[in-house]
Amino acid sequence: MMLLWLIIVPIAGGVLAALLGRRGDLWPRRVALLAATAQLVLAVALWGQCFSGADPAGNGIWRAELQWTWIPQFGISFHLAVDGLSVVLILLTSFIGIMAVASSWREIHERAGLFHLNLMLVLAGITGVFLAVDLFLFYFFWELMLVPMFFLIDIWGHEERHAAAVKFFIFTQLSSLFMLLAILGLYFVHGRNTGTYTFEYTALLGTPMGQAAAMWLMLGFFVAFLVKLGAVPLHMWLPDAHTEAPTAGSVILAGLLLKTGGYGMLRFVLPLFPQAAHSAAPIMMGIAVFGIIYGAVMAFSQTDLKRLVAYTSVSHMGFVLLGAFAWNALSTRGALVQMVAHGLSTGGLFMLVGALQERIHTRDVSRMGGLWSTAPRLAGVGLFLALASMAIPGMGNFIGEFLVLLGTWSVSIPAAAVAVLGMVASAIYSLWLVQVTFHGPNKEGWKVPDFSARESAVATALIVAIVWIGLYPKAVLGTAGPALDAMRETSVVAAAPGPLEAGFPLVPVQPESAASSATARGGRP
């Protein structure tokens, strides 16, 4: 039942916040913060219960699960389950949820109850995405997280919020329809070939189908996840949505919604369609590398601070796509660490931008400068987050990008070599961001209040989490590694009985955990 409570708690908190909105702005904030904190406590308890020792379920697949019959006539069940991959992302969801509530504490005054209801519904939908292992239920939660995010942007966003919200809705809904068609196609293909019609994830693994069918179905999933990942060329919604969203919306977008795209690649695209993914991997890796460079170049050319951070997400999430399709032990681990570290650091940057806008009422970097002398705590946090974004050693971002590059090198040396340029570019725009924002002359004569105790507490928690992952990545890798290896083992065996194409050789890579010949296989599906 703990899995169900992870979804119920934010929904209940949001409903209560909406009801208490009539009493003013403070009670909805308190209730939402309490609900987000309770979800984090449940997530930590789940992590400790299921991953502190031996597999309690004894089946090596799910560490905890809840399954109820829902619509048996169509093979639909209410099936929630958790493995190492999903529990890491649920921990991230609950932590970012607290950040989002705290970052909007003084920003939202209009209809605060409704705002926090939508915020909590987004968190519940994202949690459901990471827990659902029935594809029909997965799609239900996928849609649940998108609708309240539309309202967050459209009602509480900035000047061009309506256009940004509509663009967000069009891109996400159209791509979701492609995924729905792919889910239904997989359902009917599996039923026709096996006689069993089901949406169950584990049953659909290894579904026999022709190459053309597999490619089309994979592309249906891939487009939906590519849009959510914010990858080029389907990223056009992302800069506008980030720029116009309220601070909490930007934190959720960068910290969590983009991660659902990376999760979908790792959980669904590659394991369900290994042969099609094997054939398309060179193109997908090319898209990833182009996005890394494109996002970095575009970030450097921005004058709006929020838009600048948005384009850094395009660049950094390219590493997640690259690591997923390199599909070996190192690259998949790197992709997961990158998702977690990027969620923390970029979510923190959006929180910082929101704090700056609240104080100086502008996001134009040409009007900033000299803020270190007036707000040293705020500037110090900004420096730390910029260093994390440029992936210096000791930060979680470095671990993620380094493992992705190392894993990619064993698959495609040219792809890894070009992707390194993205790290070089990130150092340039990160240091430039610090220079123009916090140093130099204070041309506008800003005298801004420094971080409050609330903001300092959130920033401290962020810093500790980023450094902890950077210095002790085993906390993430040890939890999720076996789940990633299990997915790789299934797809590698199904996809590639022979060698891969020239230029993308199958190279053995020793995983971080041990051992067996199955989990030591490298290479793509």
Indicate whether 515 pLDDT > 80: no
CA angle 125, 127, 133 (to 5 degrees): 95
Q: What is the pTM of this model?
A: 0.90
Indicate whether 508 pLDDT > 80: no
Would you state the structure tokens that stand for residue 35, as one six-digit string?
């609900």
Q: Which of 186-195, 374-383, 444-453, 460-469 has the weakest average pLDDT?
A: 444-453
Q: pLDDT digit string (tens) for 414-473?
A: 999 999 998 898 888 888 888 888 887 887 777 888 888 888 999 999 999 999 999 999
Whole-number average pLDDT of the chain: 87
Q: pLDDT digit string (tens) for 293-305?
A: 999 999 888 888 8
> How many CA atoms does the CB half-sphere of 47 hold within 13 Å?
20
Residue 51 φ then ψ, to 5°: -125, 10
Q: pLDDT digit string (tens) for 65-86?
A: 899 999 989 999 999 999 999 9
Indicate whether 506 pLDDT > 60: no
Of the candidates 346, 282, 292, the residue with the CA atom closest to the CA atom of residue 314 = 292
pLDDT value of residue 361: 85
The whole-angstrom separation of Cα 176 and Cα 110 is: 31
Residue 492's pLDDT band (boundaries 50, 70, 90)?
low
3-class SS of residue 200: strand
Residue range 158-184: average pLDDT?
A: 93
Q: Which of 184-198, 287-301, 352-366, 383-397 has the weakest average pLDDT?
A: 352-366
Measured CA to CA in angstroms, residue 182 lies from 56, 172, 218, 394, 455 at distances of: 34, 15, 7, 41, 44
Percent of the chain at pLDDT above 70?
A: 92
- Is it true that the peptide bond before 233 is cis, omega within 30 degrees of 0? yes
The whole-angstrom separation of Cα 463 and Cα 270 is: 33
The whole-angstrom separation of Cα 500 and Cα 505 is: 6
Of the candidates 378, 382, 385, 383, the residue with the CA atom closest to the CA atom of residue 454 = 378
Residue 491's pLDDT band (boundaries 50, 70, 90)?
low
Residue range 399-427: average pLDDT?
A: 92
